[in-house]
Amino acid sequence: MTVDITGKNLDITPAIRERIEFKFKKLEKYQVPFISKHAVISTEPNRQFKIEASAAIPGGQLVASAEHDDMYGAITEVYQKLERQLNKQAHKPTARRASHSNKPQIEETEAEEEA
């Protein structure tokens, strides 16, 4: 699936498109299917680049944004934020807080002694 890339006050060059698609491709290692992928790149009046990326996955939406003086640095920062969110989403079913079956059992004799 392709990434929808929008540029505000900026032309999207093939190098920028390739870099963003490469970063989204690296997110596929978590084996979570993406429904849609979108990135918006804009230049701020203070010469900073702002990148906002979103990806829809089954059971949720990943959204990240970053501002940086270097455009490629901002792309990397957004990728890292999306990766953290995707990692959390991928490992959510196996997290301890989601699994109540591993809750320690209090023996009845200990509970009676405390009362």
**In which residue are the tokens 């978590």 written?**
30
pLDDT in tens, 36-48: 999 999 997 888 9
* DSSP code at position 115: -
Q: What is the pLDDT of residues 18-38, one digit of tens each?
A: 999 999 999 988 888 899 999
Instruction: Give the domain ranges of the chain.
Output: 4-92
Per-residue confidence (pLDDT) for residue 56, from 0 to 100? 93
Cβ proximity of 114 and 106 under 8 Å: no
Homologous superfamily assigned to 4-92? Ribosome hibernation promotion factor-like (3.30.160.100)
Torsion, Cα 15 46 65 56, to 10 degrees, reads -60
Mean of the pLDDT values across residues 73-97?
87
Q: Is the pLDDT of residue 10 over 50?
A: yes
Poorest-pLDDT segment among 10-24, 49-63, 94-108 = 94-108
In this prediction, residue 98 has a pLDDT band, given cuts at 50, 70 and 90, of: very low
